[in-house]
Amino acid sequence: MADKVLVFSRFAKSMLARFGEQFELLETGGKPAGDVFSSDQLKDVRALLTMGAQPLGRETFDLLPSLGAVVCYGTGYDGVDLKAASERNLVIGNSPAANASAVADLAMTLLLALMRRVIPADAYLRAGGWAGAKPSPLLKPPRGLTGAKVGVYGIGEIGKKIAARVAAFETEVAYHSRSRHDVPYRYIGDLGELIDWCDVLLIAVRAGPDTQRIIDASMLKRLGKDGVLINISRGSVIDQPALIAALADGTIAGAGLDVFEQEPYAPDALSELPNVVLTPHIGGHTLDAHVAMQDCVIDNLTAFFAGRQLPYAVG
C-alpha cells in the first residue's frame, strides 16, 4: 500500500498528478481535515502536503497522531506554526529556489508594466483613443527605468535574481537584509535608509513576525511621491490600508502587487486605483517552476518515508 499523504491545501488536480502516482493522497479540498476524513482514516497519515502561506498548526496536528513531516509546495513556510511543529518533533520541508526565476520574472513584469503604464496604454488603444487622437492624462511621458535607484529588500534566491535582472536595465542597485551577502550590489544596513535612497523598492523578503507590516505609513512616506513599490513576497509585509491611502493621496507614485494581506484577494479600494498593477499570486506559476517545486516535494516525501533526512529541510 502506498504511503498516505494528507493534502491540506486546495490544489489543482494537475498539480497533484505526479504525487498521486507515488503516494496515496487524502485530499481535503482546502477544508478542515476533520470535516472530510474520519479519525480512523487520519490515524496512520505520516506526511502532510501544504501551501506554505496557509495557516497550519496544532489543531490539525492533533488530528494526525502518526504525523512526522510537513512538506510545503513552494519556498514559503510562514503559515506553519513552527513552535507547535517542534513540540511534535515534526520535520518541515519546502522547495527552496525552485520558483525563484519565475518570481523574479514577474517582479520585473510588474515593474515595467507599472512604470511604462502598460495597462492604461492597452485600455486606451482598445477603446479607440489612439485612433481617435483622444488626449489621455494617464499616458503622459513617464519616468524611464534607466538610471533609477532600485532597492531590493531581501537578498535570498529570489532577491538575487531580481537584482540581477533589474541591474541589466542600467539601474543602480542596493539591498537590505539581515546580513551582508557576497553580491555585487551596495549593502545598506538599515531598511529605512534603503527606502530613503531608492526610487523603486522591490520586496523579496521572507515573511515572519519580524517583517509583519514593516512597510507601514511612515516607510511609504519615506519612499516619496515619485517612488514605486513592487511586492512579490507576502502581503503581510505591507500595511495594506496604509498603502491604499498612500497610493490614493499621492504619497507614493504607484505599486505592483502579486500578494495581498488576505488571499484570495477580493477587489476593494486598491483595485479601483489607476496607479497599481495587480496579479493573483502567480509569481511562481510557470510550468517549469511547478515541475521544479514538484521535484522537491517528491524528493522530500520519498526521503521521509524511507527514513532519510529531507533533502530540502527547513533549518
DSSP 225-273: TT-EEEE-S-GGGB-HHHHHHHHHHTSSSEEEES--SSSSPPP-GGGG-
Stated length of the chain? 315
**Residue 281: active-site member:** yes
CB count within 10 Å of CB 58 equals 13
SS3 174: strand
Bridge partners of residue 70, in order along the sequence = 48, 92
Is 176 a known active-site residue? no
Active-site position among 10, 234, 261, 285: 234
- Asked whether 207 and 76 are in contact (CB, 8 A), the reply is yes
Q: Is 234 a catalytic residue?
A: yes
Instruction: Say which residues have a Cβ less than 8 Å from residue 97's Cβ, sequence separation at least 6.
Output: 75, 157, 158
Q: Which of 263, 272, 285, 290 is catalytic?
A: 263
For 125, list phi and psi in degrees, rounded to 5: -65, -45
Q: Contact, 96 vs 312, CB < 8 A?
A: yes
The residues assigned a catalytic role are 234, 263, 281
